[in-house]
Amino acid sequence: MRIDVITLFPDFIAQSAGIGVVGRSQERELLTVKAWNPRDYATGNYRRVDERPFGGGPGMLMLNEPLTACLEAIRGDSEIPAKLIYLSPQGQPLTQAKAKELASAERLILMCGRYEGVDERFIERNVDEEISIGDYVLSGGELAAAVIIDAVGRLQDGALGHADSAAQDSFEDGLLDCPHYTRSEAWGTEGVPPVLLSGDHAAIAKWRRQQSLGRTWLRRPELLAGRPLNKADAALLVEFQAEHLKKVKKP
């Protein structure tokens, strides 16, 4: 997969995409991340990339011409078609399902806004999708782009060491992840749920499923709301809820 990023801070994108799982994916050529700076496509002595908005008011917008020239250069650099995604708080929220959908594309272009944002006409003409990483305002799209690159990069085939470790992630099944415990010698086994020491793989799988369901119910009940549970899951959750109530009722 290839991800092109339009950003006034290309070093940030190169560095954040150069570490950990995503960095390794790039080394293994499962993923290529390339940052493009609109300033390189700006004209004039000052290479301006910002402009005042019509209607006045505080703040500047990104200038259309360097953005357009930068996008043309990106499109011309490869024949692989790519959606242009603009990172903004006005976008659709990023979810694991969305990350999976994006991860299946051969190529994406991410555009990071700075200042007060981008001319609406540029968005209408060029942008295929707007995505937000949450209901808060960042000072630019770079952190959001780094989040998407990470979420999408780790889903590339062969990116994760353990073949099924993506399948066990939080949200993979619409549920939160279960708790995990290290085999730390210094910490021993105290506080570790006994079932994890039992060697009984079926019992362990059942406990993990129950913890996932229970944690989702406790911490993010809205994730369970429109989601019918099968009989086995419903029984596990009822048992978790009963245990939980016993614990909280204890004086």
Residues that bind ligand ADE (CB under 6 A): 87-89, 132-134, 136-138, 141, 144
Q: 24 or 114: whose CB is closer to ligand ADE? A: 114
What would the two tokens of residue 168 be? 């066990």
Residue 146 or 159 with smaller CB distance to ligand ADE: 146
Assess whether 154 carries a catalytic annotation: yes
For the CB of residue 20, give the shortest distance to ligand ADE in the complex, in Å.
Answer: 21
Handedness of CA 83, 87, 88, 93 (dihedral sign): positive
CB-based contact 236:211 (threshold 8 Å):
no
Look up 169 and say whether it is catalytic: yes
Among residues 141 and 153, whose Cβ is nearest to ligand ADE? 141
Q: Pairing between strand 32-36 and 50-51?
A: unpaired
Residue 40 to residue 67: CA distance in whole angstroms: 10
| CB nearer ligand ADE, residue 42 or residue 118 | 118
Whole-number minimum distance, CB 228 to ligand ADE, in Å? 31
- Residue in 169, 172, 173, 177 annotated catalytic: 169
Q: What is the torsional sign of CA 201, 162, 104, 223?
A: positive
Name the residue number minimizing CB distance to ligand ADE. Answer: 144
CA distance 72 to 74: 5
Closest distance to ligand ADE from the beta carbon of 123 (Å): 13
Residue of 116, 150, 172, 177 marked active site: 116
Catalytic member of 75, 89, 172, 177: 89
Q: CB 199 → ligand ADE: shortest distance, Å?
A: 45
**What's the min distance (Å) between Cβ of 224 and ligand ADE?**
25
Q: Is 28 a catalytic residue?
A: no
| DSSP per-residue string spanning 220-245 | -HHHHHT-PPPHHHHHHHHHHHHHHH
Looking only at the bridges linking them, the beta strands covering 32-36 and 2-6 are parallel
Does an H or E element contain 12, and which? helix 10-16
**Rounded to the nearest whole angstrom, what is the least distance from the CB of residue 6 to ligand ADE in the complex?**
13
Q: What is the DSSP string of 16-83?
A: HTTSHHHHHHHHTTS-EEEEE-GGGG--TTTT--EEPPTT--SS-EE-HHHHHHHHHHHHHH-SS--E
Catalytic residue among 4, 38, 114, 154: 154
Q: Which is nearer to ligand ADE, 21 or 138 (CB)?
A: 138
Nearer to ligand ADE, 7 or 132 (CB): 132
User: Which sign does the torsion angle of CA 97, 137, 108, 61 carry?
Assistant: positive
Q: Which residues are catalytic?
A: 89, 116, 154, 169
